[in-house]
Structure 1
Amino acid sequence: MPVKNQYSELLKMSSPCEKLIRRDIARTYPEHEFFKGQDSLGQEVLFNVMKAYSLVDREVGYCQGSAFIVGLLLMQMPEEEAFCVFVRLMQEYRLRELFKPSMAELGLCIYQFEYMLQEQLPDLNTHFRSQSFHTSMYASSWFLTLFLTTFPLPVATRVFDIFMYEGLEIVFRVGLALLQVNQMELMQLDMEGMSQYFQRVIPHQFDSCPDKLILRAYQVKYNPKKMKRLEKEYAAMKSKEMEEQIEIKRLRTENRLLKQRIETLEKESAALADRLIQGQVTRAQEAEENYVIKRELAVVRQQCSSAAEDLQKAQSTIRQLQEQQDNPRLTEDFVAHLETELEQSRLRETETLGALREMQDKVLDMEKRNSSLPDENNVAQLQEELKALKVREGEAVASARELKLQLQELSDTWQVREGLARRARSGLGAPRRRPTADLSPQAHLSRGGRWKESPRKLVLGELQDELMSVRLREAQALAEGRELRQRVVELETQDHIHRNLLNRVEAERAALQEKLQYLAAQNKGLQTQLSESRRKQAEAECKSKEEVMAVRLREADSMAAVAEMRQRIAELEIQREEGRIQGQLNHSDSSQYIRELKDQIEELKAEDPLAFDGLGLARHLDEDSLPSSDEELLGVGVGAALQDALYPLSPRDARFFRRLERPAKDSEGSSDSDADELAAPYSQGLDN
């Protein structure tokens, strides 16, 4: 189906690029009358063509810059024809490769243009590189819009016409022509200045004469073979870059996987390190616990050994007690020893109580003596008086010093006046001294008011009197000072004596208190020992009583066993008599019966060996000592045989057994009565 016929159907469809197309339409030829104004006819038909192409070629879709080419076509023809021409240009003029999302053809064009620039304008190329002014920064719009966004429409349409005839070759030529024309100006600018120059100066250089630009463009050298070779080189370079990118992607993937593996290993290593540290900590704790357990085990072993020693001591004590129980004499000695210790402890307690009373009496005496001594208040008063005396002594010393100073001044004055008097006497002659002279002022005056003696002598006498009075006062002050010092010394001595007495009393009191505490502790210890000895004595008495009761019980058991034994022997004799009368016993029966009797005696001896210590039954009841047959038993006599075997030293028992040798009665009743008669005195003997 022709493309022109598809156009109407494509307009009915919706495109995913409609929003992008609507956004860029307002910026396409904004100054042209056909496209000026929102929702104008030019913008509407431009939107339709771009939408239809985005639906026809979904791989390219919509790319910025293609709207300027479609807009130029719409200025020349209807929208259906413009759509068909644009599709043809995209497919046959390499524009589709330029507008693909990868823009591989644009990269090839930039690569070819850079080669031509380096070959034909090497200085400008070096300047561009030094300023980091890449070719794509100014030449990309040339190839994408075919100079439609660079030049005004008259110049751009001339370039577009040649493009329709020759293809992209004109773009290379025009671009190099522009650079050749402006090489000197561009060499003097930096990157920002060059950007401004490309945007403002170059687009309007050929507005008045577009042919001049075309002529300069065709003067540029263009070799199609080199362009093909550059295309192959670029393809090889791109393939190599693709391989490198694939390798880089693979390496990045491997690197990412290795990083993940490293992170996993680091986590595992951290986990292992944590486990190792935890294991070390656990081992340290276990070692510490083992050490503690070993110490506890050592303590337990020590306790076990001490317990074993205590057990051995207890066993030895038990053996000693058993020996003491077996030997009543040792028990009596132990009780006597305890009584002696009790008496000694009581004596020590009495002595301690007497010493304690003596110490208490001494403490009371010391307290009385201490109460008679001056207390602390009196000592404080004495100290205050001593301080006051010292103050008064200081005042007296100060007054004495003042008197000495006054005396020195008077002596100096006296010496001065005496010198004057000597000089006067040397000039006038020495005056005569009268035996009696009145020192009063009236005695020095005459009737006419004249002095009897000279005024100098009067002044000298007054000074001498004053000097004497001062010396007297000084002597009195010195005497008082000596008395005060002596009093102070006496008070200090008394204070020192009182302090020494107090210290001695305090030391004696402390010693008495310590001794009292020691005696109290000793008394307490003695009381503890006394209570312990009393307890031991009570325990010994209880043990002795228990032993006596046990001995009595064993004696009673022994007596009961002996009585039972004798009763059995009597029954045996009666049965033997009955058997002999009836003729039912034989040699084997008698031997067996004797063995049974011996076994019973052994059992009784095993039950209570102490009961048979004085009897000696086992020693006498041998098979050799007993009759071996009934005839021997009858010939010897059962009474004599048992008497020799059991009671060889008992005459009364011998008489009893001799009575058994008399012939038995014929009847059973008579034999029973005889047996009762024979057993009666023996039972009475046992009771006695």
Structure 2
Amino acid sequence: MTCFPHPEADAETVTFKSCHFEIHRLRTENRLLRQRIDYLEAESAALADRLVKGQVNLAQEAENSINIAHELSKLRDINSDAHRKLEQAYDTIRELSCSRQGGVLDAAVQVDDTSMIEHIHSLQQELIESHNRQADHENTIRECKIRISELEAANKRLREHEPFEGVAGLQEELISVKMREAESNLALKEMRQRLAELEQHWAKYVHMRTFEPNVTTTENDSNSNDSGNSTSLSVNSARARLAKITASFIGGSSEGDDGCVTIRELEDQLMGVRIKEVDNLAELKEMRQKKAEGWTQNQLRGTSVCEADDDSNIRPIARKTP
């Protein structure tokens, strides 16, 4: 006697197996969804960190803008003080010219009042423009330093990633970077040569000033005794003297009795400002070169990270597609 399977038992077995497969599929989907949720939470945390860093950078930029505004107000105050002292110098020159008309002066030494005032005015205008250019250069140098620090921080973060195999395109970019670096070095060398020539001219000028006879005012006659011992001045001492004269002209009152500003003092100030301007230009070129190098390194490392991310995204897809 043969026994046949009951059809209802077969149906229950099929239903049980289908339910088992469905439960297994739902568990797999649940696990994948949990992994996706973890990935999204990590990505949201990274975006939150980037948002916080962006807000910090914005706060720093706002603080820098406030500092620049304060410096600009200080420069405006200095400019107004310089104009006021220039008017005082004009009044002093007029008083001296009026008081000495009755005396006997050498015809070769007399200087026309109008031309002297115009010369002083032109020197003063050039001095103010040089101060403004110097302030602009200092602001540009400060911005370059901030940008360099940001690029160095970005390079430091990019160095933490794992290196990858080099690409032929990176070699071409590296060659172009080397060429730009050579051009920057050449421009910097020319700027330093110009600075050296300017310092040599200044040393010659100071040396000639020590032997030049006194031809203007009695105050210059009293100051000539102190300048007789300065025949061996160097470029560094000339710079110190220029800094002292510029500080006395802009920062406060002079040490003389009548406080007047002569043409020689204005020329000294102008020469000192030009030397400082050339120094600032050289430093600005160095900062721009460092900025270009940091930007290039950042671009190269950013390209490497992007290619590494693309490679990591392509590998799972290749594994899924047999």
Kindly name which structure, 1 or 2, has the bigger radius of gyration based on alpha carbons: 1
- Tell me which of the two structures has the higher relative contact order, counting C-alpha pairs closer than 8 angstroms and 6 or more residues apart: 2
On whether the aligned pair clears a TM of 0.5, the verdict is: no
Scaled to the shorter chain, the TM-score interval is 0.3 to 0.5
TM-score after normalising by structure 2: 0.35
